[in-house]
Chains A and B, each alone.
Chain A
Amino acid sequence: MAHAATPGGSGHHDPHRLGHGEVPVSERGPAPKRIVVAYGFWIFLLSDFIMFATFFAGYAVLVSASAGGPTPRELFDLKLVAWETGALLLSSFACGMAGVAMQARSARWFQLGMAATAILGTAFLAMELYEFTHLIGEGAGPGRSAFLSAFFALVGCHGLHVALGLVWLTTMMAQVWAKGFRDDIVRRTQCFMLFWHALDIIWVALFTVVYLLGAGA
């Protein structure tokens, strides 16, 4: 990348180089590939957020349509939700640690962090599946009422994302193990990490809107 000489020597007083004697962004040529790739994936994540917003909107409209069946207040077990939240938050943190290890090019710590992420993510998914089978066993399956259809669609969609994320996670562990921190593999892993953190953001909205507002308010 072109490093323009700064005539006024303003580089020191301008840590972010807000343009004094700097080559304008429009004239610096194409951005490096890692930035283009991550930015494209960022756009995908935002579109995924929009898709989740439609599920949330559907849930919010249908939450009171319980058709004489069980209501949110009767169904949800907040203790289980707290455990799920903890598992997913810690897995997001472990994923961040794996990211730091990747920047430091430490394969051992990377694999350790990713393994911890995978275990915590699996624990989250196991708890969610337990909750689903428990609800269906009680006769509160997705066919019982519009509220439960919306509930299973919204929470299940997030669970599906987590399951796909786990597949992606193990793929990246295998690729780093087999091929090392090659540039393209680092880019893929970085996209995976964005994905995993984004799932935790969705879960924050989920446990607030579905579980806490459902059980409390």
Chain B
Amino acid sequence: MSETTHGQKAPGDHVPEDDLAPGEERDTAAILRGVRGYLVGLVLATVLTAASFWAAGSGLIYGPGVPVALVALAVAQMGVHLVFFLHVTTGPDNTNNVLALAFGTLIVALVLVGTLWIMAHLDHNIMPMDELMNMQR
């Protein structure tokens, strides 16, 4: 990615120029680069998906390790989608997009971890329903 565009690129945006003269065509090298990027993404995503289904079904992985493997594979695949399909990169033209993504990820993590943590505690401390019924009599 050595296009020297000024300003940042938007996510999923890989146009080197803003403008074309009438009748002008984009160069084929850019098309080939684009297609190749998506092909690499497709292959990686397919491999990771296949690995996920295999890890869940094969029984070859140590039981308690299966969820860990599945989550790791899912996170890897989301990264593949972000990089190859949404074109989120670490380049300086992507700073704003990456910062927004980081903030979104933080909120998602807070919602998920916070909910599971609190609800697990509640579940642990709450009185079972039948005992609660007995107390009310």
Contact = CB atoms under 8 A, between A and B. Distances in A.
A60 B101 CA distance: 23
Interface residues of B, number: 60
A18 B92 contact: yes
Given A53-B111, A212-B70, A34 B13 contact: yes
Nearest to B18: A32
Contacts of B66: 216-217
Contact of B74 (A43, A89, A200, A208): A208
Interface residues of A, number: 61
Contact of B25 (A60, A105, A190): A105
Contacts of A25: 7
Contacts of B2: 15
B85 A92 contact: yes
19 contacts: A1-B6, A32-B18, A34-B10, A39-B10, A39-B97, A47-B104, A50-B107, A54-B111, A56-B112, A82-B53, A85-B49, A86-B49, A89-B46, A92-B81, A93-B42, A103-B15, A104-B25, A200-B81, A215-B56
Interface of A: 1, 3, 11, 15-18, 25, 28, 31-32, 34-35, 37-39, 42-43, 46-47, 49-50, 53-54, 56-58, 60-61, 78, 82, 85-86, 89-90, 92-93, 96-97, 99-100, 103-105, 190, 193-194, 197-198, 200-201, 204-205, 207-209, 212-213, 215-217
